[in-house]
Amino acid sequence: MNKIEVMRTVGSKMDDFIVKYLTPVEEIWQPSDFLPDSSKDSFKEEIDELREFAYEMPYDLFVTLIGDCITEEALPTYESWIMGIEGINQQENCAWTKWTRAWTAEENRHGDLLGKYLYLCGRVDMREMEITTQHLIKDGFDIGTETDPYKNFVYTSFQETATNISHRRVGSLAKQSGNKKLAQMCGVIAADEARHAKAYKFFVSRIFEMDTSEMMNAFESMMKSKIVMPAHLMRESGQKVGELWQYFSDAAQRCRVYTAQDYIQIFKELITEWKIENLSGLTDSAERARDYLLKMPERLQRITDRMQIPEFSYPFKWIRT
């Protein structure tokens, strides 16, 4: 069975998957549910409270929140990339096209909510943030998957889980400081990401059942080249492509929102989720791939244990001084 046939077989149950992993438009939350209502007399009071909490957020945590928003706002890149995967055909309006559009519609609310929050909070130089977002969409990304659906679903399984962690942690830290509104916003976004991660992990599980060795090789290929985050090419005005990412990553690690240890933990969870140790009937190359995958977390741990994160905070143009 080739990859097109596998994709068609998995996609034959797409209506069930959409019901299980996505939420009807009329039932799911919308950004306006969590933002101050401009039609109410309490609008100014709510804005003042929102601004006060935003200015109290630690610098690195606030940087991470902005970067998370920019990542979400680059959604057009992600949809166009998924639509180009082998086995997804827009012209035929296949099952996978239906999934991609519905997934995109849910994801679109994330950047919409965070972007409006950041605009209202008064602490963000919105023009600089918007320049970074436009650059990120214009520059695109290279995640090493090409058009291979197997590699792409390994990537989305990992990345959606990582995004869930990042939003959830920002929300948790915001809640500790009393910022319940932002905590709610990050919490509902994180919940969406968790559902989406479950979907992509399930798709990979189904592929493992039908094309075990090729799926194993794809998993190894992605982890060997390393999973890069969607915003790895981000830049500010006047910068070169990708020049900003390391500074943003350092900020996220310093405030413990997303760390190298999280990367290792997600990897381990995928190995368990897909029952890598117990799979049988592998080709020789797939057996070697499995051995590599099972040993890799320990290698990564040794590297992580030696890592040192810079203590200084880069002066991001996004934040008003």
Is residue 232 flagged as an active site residue? no
Per the annotation, the verdict on 72 as an active-site residue is yes
Annotated catalytic, 29?
yes
Q: Is 167 a catalytic residue?
A: no
pLDDT (0 to 100) of residue 97:
96
Positions of the chain with pLDDT lower than 50, given as ranges: none
Say what the pTM is.
0.96
The residue from 96, 100, 133, 196 that is catalytic is: 196
Q: Verify whether residue 160 is a known catalytic residue.
A: yes
Residues 223-253 pLDDT 10s:
999 999 999 999 999 999 999 999 999 999 9
Question: Per the residue annotation, which of 60, 112, 148, 193 is the catalytic one?
Answer: 193
Query: Looking at residue 92, what is its pLDDT?
Result: 84
Q: How far apart are CA 4 and CA 88, in angstroms?
A: 9
Question: What is the pLDDT at residue 275?
Answer: 97
Confidence at residue 18, expressed as pLDDT on a 0 to 100 scale: 97
% of the chain beyond a pLDDT of 70: 100
**So what's the pLDDT on residue 90?**
87
Our answer to whether residue 107 is catalytic in this structure is yes
